[in-house]
Amino acid sequence: MIDQLLGRASLKDRIDELEDEAERLRQRYEAESERKAAAVTAKQEAEERQNRLEDRIAQLEGELERVDGARSDDGVEFRRKERLRGARLEEVLDRLTSVRTGPEGACTVFLDPQREADGREDAERYRQVEDVLGERTSLVRTGDPCLVCFDDAGLVSVRLEPPVRPERDLEATWSDRFELEREWFLPTGTYTLALVRADLFAIGVYEDGERVDYKGFESDVKGSHSKGGFSQARFERIRDDQIDDHLERCHRALAEFDTDRLYLVGQRGVLETLAEEGEFEPKESAAVDATGDPKPALEDAHRSFWTTELGVF
């Protein structure tokens, strides 16, 4: 009664209404924040999955090119294709290097179909190949750079895609044997191989394929968003800064090792950024689909890198 007389009842009712409205707005804000956080989380997870898929797609596209390359437009196809590594690869190389012919009965030539597509085809090089292989030459005119070995009797004709490109531009070389160097195919001598991803780094020093030194780490790069956290734009800036910090950490780690003979593998976009900003030049680089903890991921990457594609035709 007193509240009504003093007009306090209506004020209390209004206060209750405002408190209820404030509570509804608070709940709405929390729900909206959670929705945005979930959206950012989903976006970051999608980006990480996209990066992994892009690397896997690059590998599968290479395999698809090799499968498509098994048959040319002329209907010519490889008699057999095989991915070689380790002891099996050594066995095949030993067989090829053991072949002996007359003084100029065995030809070894390095072909780069990609360079040819840019209008820099060495006509004489392909002419010599076509003189012996005929229509089968179409099997080596597409795909990745490769070494081709064949003899004048038509007993041997193979295409090899080594992990390491020959330093010299090997023109059609006729000899009494095939000119193949094991370091193009096999892990020989002392070298360094580093695996780099957006949040992972692993590096190993190897001697004849055996790891003798190692360093690896993972960096705290945001891949999800906590509830009630930052705005999406701010979150992405923080993530980009964390990746930059990770790559700077990778640079410092690389500086601790001998990079004169460096092979760089991992996530394609990250590799390009690291190579552009670094003071080192890798001997070879390749995208590989190696995930997990640093040490096992490095071994997986090492195994994938030292693989040669063989085509017999």
pLDDT band per the 50, 70, 90 thresholds, residue 122: low
Judged by DSSP in three states, 158 sits in strand
pLDDT at residue number 31: 79
Distance, CA of 143 to CA of 120 (rounded, Å): 16
**What pLDDT, in 10s, does the model give residues 186-205?**
999 999 999 999 889 999 99
pLDDT band per the 50, 70, 90 thresholds, residue 117: very low
pLDDT at residue number 2: 52
Query: Are the beta carbons of 239 and 51 closer than 8 angstroms?
Result: no
Evaluate the CA torsion angle 177, 178, 183, 187 in order and state its sign. negative
pLDDT at residue number 217: 94
- Topology at the third CATH level for domain 73-185: 3.30.960
Least confident stretch, 170-174, 182-186, 299-303: 170-174
Count, residues in the chain: 313
pLDDT at 239 over 70: no
pLDDT band per the 50, 70, 90 thresholds, residue 302: very high
Per-residue pLDDT, averaged over 214-222, amounts to 86
Look-up of token digits 């072909």: 111
State the pairing for strand pair 284-287/262-266. Answer: parallel
pLDDT at residue number 226: 47
Distance, CA of 229 to CA of 235 (rounded, Å): 8
pLDDT band per the 50, 70, 90 thresholds, residue 92: very high
Bigger pLDDT: 126 or 160?
160
Query: Are the beta carbons of 287 and 265 closer than 8 angstroms?
Result: yes
pLDDT band per the 50, 70, 90 thresholds, residue 224: very low
pLDDT at residue number 134: 87
* Residue 160: closest CA among 40, 309, 41, 4: 309
Does 73-185 match 9-68+187-305 at the fold level? no
DSSP state letter for 141: S
- Domain parsing of the chain, residue ranges: 9-68+187-305, 73-185
Mean pLDDT of the chain: 82
| Domain 9-68+187-305, CATH number (from 3.30.420.60, 3.30.300.20, 3.40.50.2000, 3.40.50.11390) | 3.30.420.60
Distance, CA of 288 to CA of 55 (rounded, Å): 6
Give pTM, 2 decimals.
0.70
pLDDT at residue number 65: 61
pLDDT at 88 over 70: yes
pLDDT at 48 over 80: no
pLDDT at 207 over 60: yes
Q: H-type helices in the chain, by residue range?
A: 2-6, 8-68, 86-98, 113-117, 123-133, 232-255, 268-277, 294-305
Half-sphere exposure (CA, 13 Å, Cβ side) for 128?
A: 21
pLDDT at residue number 22: 81
pLDDT at 227 over 50: no
pLDDT at 106 over 50: yes
DSSP state letter for 120: -
Distance, CA of 308 to CA of 94 (rounded, Å): 14
Least confident stretch, 98-102, 143-147, 299-303: 143-147
Q: Is 156 exposed, middle or buried (0-12, 13-18, 19+ CB in 10 A)?
A: middle
pLDDT band per the 50, 70, 90 thresholds, residue 148: very high
Evaluate the CA torsion angle 36, 41, 47, 49 in order and state its sign. negative
Distance, CA of 174 to CA of 93 (rounded, Å): 18
**What pLDDT, in 10s, does the model give residues 241-298?**
777 888 899 999 999 998 789 999 998 888 888 878 777 889 999 989 888 899 999 9
pLDDT at residue number 141: 78
